[in-house]
Chain A
Amino acid sequence: MVPHYPTKRSALVPTLLYAQDEVGYLSDEVIREIAGRLEVTELEVRNVISYYSMLTTKPRGRYNVQVCTNISCMIRGGEQILGHCAKQLGIQNKQTTSDGMFSLEEVECIGACSWAPAAQVNYDFHENLTPEKMDGILAAYRKKGTQ
C-alpha cells in the first residue's frame, strides 16, 4: 500500500489492522517491524494504536464477538443479546474464554441500525438477532473453530 501515498506513514492504520488480523494482536515484535518499515518510531505507532478501538496490543479469542448496544440496537434488545452472550460464553465484556475460542466486546454503532440488533464476529455481520439465533451463531463458530 505504501506507494499509494506521498508519505510512507500514511499506510500505518490499515497496515496495523491487517497485521493484527494475521497475528491476532499487535505484539511488540509486530509494532517494531511496522515502525521500521514505515520509518516512524515505535512510540508513534503505539500512540496511533491507542486511538483506534479495533486495534489491540493484547491477544483476543479466535472469534471476537462484538455486540452493538448503541441506540438503534438498544431499543431492539442489543443489551439482552450482550447479556445472553456473556451467559453462554461464561465471560464478561472484554474477556476471553479459557480455551481462547471466543472473546466478547460491547461495541458502538457498527452500521446495522435498520437490521438491529446486530453483532459482528470478527468481520462477519449477524443481524436481526434473537437469543436463539445467537446460540446458533456461536455454535457454528465453535464447530468451525474445533475442526
Chain B
Amino acid sequence: MADLVSHPDEVKIVSRRFGMGATNIDRYLELDGYKAVQKALTLEPDAIINEVKNSGLRGRGGAGFSTGMKWSFVPKQAAKPKYVLCNGDESEPGTCKDRLIFEHDPHSVIEGVVIAGLSVGANNGYIYIRGEYRYLSNIMQKAIKDAYAKGFLGKNIFGSGRDFDVYWHGGAGAYEVGEESALMESLEGKRGIPRIRPPFPAVVGLWGGPTIINNAETLANVPHIILGGADWYAKLGTPKNGGTRLFCLSGNIARPGVYELPMGYNLKKMIYEVGGGIPQGRKLKAVVPGGSSCPCLTADEIDVAMDFDSVQKAGSMLGSGGVVIVDDAQCIVKFALRTMKFYQHESCGWCIPCREGTDWLKKTLTRFHAGGGLKKDIDNMQYLSENMLGRTFCPLGDAAAMPTIAFVKKFRKEFEDHLEGRPCPFEEKGAIQELPVFAH
C-alpha cells in the first residue's frame, strides 16, 4: 500500500524483508524466518535477556528504555500467568513505521513476541493493532494462522515441549492507548485510562500478571539480535544506542518516506542528503525530531546525532522516530495550535493538569493565532505548560507541554508578531475570536 523508498546510507535490518513478499510464511522461511525462535529455544532465559541487554536495544516506541533491562524486571516466580504485549497502537503524529513492519514483515513481530515470552517464562502474547489499521489486522491474523498451521505456535512449538499462543487484538481509535498502562486497560475491554505506577507492568500487568510491553519495531528487532549476536547489533549504532532505527521523514521535505538508518545518524545529513532537502527553494525553520510530543529543534540546532542520548542533550527527544520538517513558509503559532488541538482531543481527562491544561492552551493558541493575543499570553502559555510537567499519571500531559514550551521559547518573536491584532504574517487573518483569557 504505502510506497517504499531507499537511500544508499540505509542499513536494512528491520526493513530487510520489506517488499520481498515475506507476509507469505514460506517466503519468510526462505529469508531466515523463524530461525531466531529455534535458536532462542536452545538458550537459557537469562542468556536471551543478556543478549538483548548487551545489544543496546532501546524501546522504539519513544521512551528509549533498555529492552533487556525491562525484561529482567519480570519476576521468575509469579502466582499469575505472564504475558507479552506488543504495542502496535502507532498514533504519534509524524510516525508511520510500525505500519510498514506489519504490512511487510508480520512474522518478525510474532517471532519477537515468542522470544520475549521465552525469556521471561510467558506462554501467551497479544499483538495490539490500532483500529484504523484494519488491513494490517487482516495481514497479522493470517500470519498468526499460518504460524499455527506450521506448528510454530500453539502446543509444543518446534517440538520443544514449550507451548506458546499468540493472539491479535484491535483498538478503536485512541492515541492515549499507546501508553503502556492505558494499552492494558484497553485490552481488558475498558476505557484507555492510565494506571498509577508502581506497580509496574513487569510485576502487575495484564489481568494482574507480570507483563512485558514493547513497541512493534522493538520486537521486530529481537530476532535479528538473536541471530546476528549482541556485538554485531550494538556496533551498528552508537554506544548505549544499539542498532538502527526507522525514521519517518515527513513535512516540507523533497523525498519523504521511512528510512532505516543507523542510530546516531546526523540529523542535518538526514534532512539534506537522505530526504533531499527542503523543496521550492525555501529554508528550514524547525524540525520535530521524534513525533509531535518532542520539543522542536531550530535550524541552528540540527547538527545532532540521532540517538537517544545525543538528542536529549540537544534539548529534545528521539521519541518514536517521526521526523517532521517545517519550512519558513509555515506559521509556528499555527503549528503549535494544531499540535495542541490534537492533545486536547486525545487527553482522556483522568488527570486534571492534562485535561484542563490542554484545553486552556488550545483556547489561548486559537485566540492568539486569530489575532486576539495578549502579551501576557506568551508567558502564561509557558507557565501553564511547565505546571503540567510531571503532574499526570501518564506522559500525555508532558507530551502536550514539552513542545509548547519549546515553541514559545524558541520562536517568541513569531508569537509577538501575532500580537495586538496584527495579522498572521503567513496567511489571511481570521476573525478575532473572543475566548477567555487565563487569569494569572
Contacts and interface: CB of A to CB of B under 8 A. Distances in A.
A109 B189 contact: no
B192 A120 contact: no
Nearest to A110: B132
A71 B339 contact: yes
A54 B249 CA distance: 27
Given A13-B171, A71-B338, A123-B134, A111 B187 contact: no
A116 B22 CA distance: 26
Contacts of A55: 172-173
B439 interface: no
Contacts of A71: 93-94, 251, 288, 292, 324, 335, 338-339, 342
B290 interface: no
Interface in A103-119: 108-116
Contacts of B99: 111-112
Interface string B326-358: 100010001100110010011010000000000
Contact of A111 (B96, B172, B257): B96
B94 A16 contact: no
Given A12-B189, A54-B172, A108 B342 contact: yes
A9 B189 contact: yes
A143 B346 CA distance: 35
A72 to B, nearest CB: 4
Contact of B207 (A7, A12, A108, A111): A7
Interface string B233-268: 000000000000000111110001110000000000
B324 A113 contact: yes
Contacts of A53: 172-174
A112 B258 CA distance: 10
A137 interface: no
A109 B250 CA distance: 12
A54 B192 CA distance: 14
A52 B338 contact: no
B93 A10 contact: no
Interface string A17-56: 1000000000000000000001010000001100111110
A36 to B, nearest CB: 15
B342 A48 contact: no
Given A9-B188, A48-B191, A111 B90 contact: yes
Given A13-B170, A51-B192, A71-B93, A116 B2 contact: no
A108 B91 contact: yes
A75 B251 CA distance: 6
Contacts of B135: 123-125
Contacts of B338: 69-71, 74
Contacts of A17: 131, 170, 172
A10 B134 contact: no
Contacts of B175: 108-109
B366 to A, nearest CB: 14
A53 B93 CA distance: 16
B319 interface: no
Contact of B189 (A13, A115, A120): A13
Contacts of B155: none
Given A51-B192, A53-B173, A123-B132, A13 B186 contact: yes
A76 interface: yes
Interface of A: 4-7, 9-14, 16-17, 38, 40, 47-48, 51-55, 69-72, 74-76, 108-116, 120, 123-125, 127
Interface of B: 1-3, 81, 90-96, 98-99, 130-135, 167, 169-175, 186-192, 207, 248-252, 256-258, 288, 292, 322, 324, 326, 330, 334-335, 338-339, 342, 345-346, 348
10 contacts: A7-B188, A10-B189, A13-B131, A16-B172, A51-B174, A75-B326, A108-B93, A109-B92, A109-B342, A111-B130
Going nearest first, the 3 A-B pairs with the smallest beta carbon separation are: A12-B189, A54-B173, A53-B173
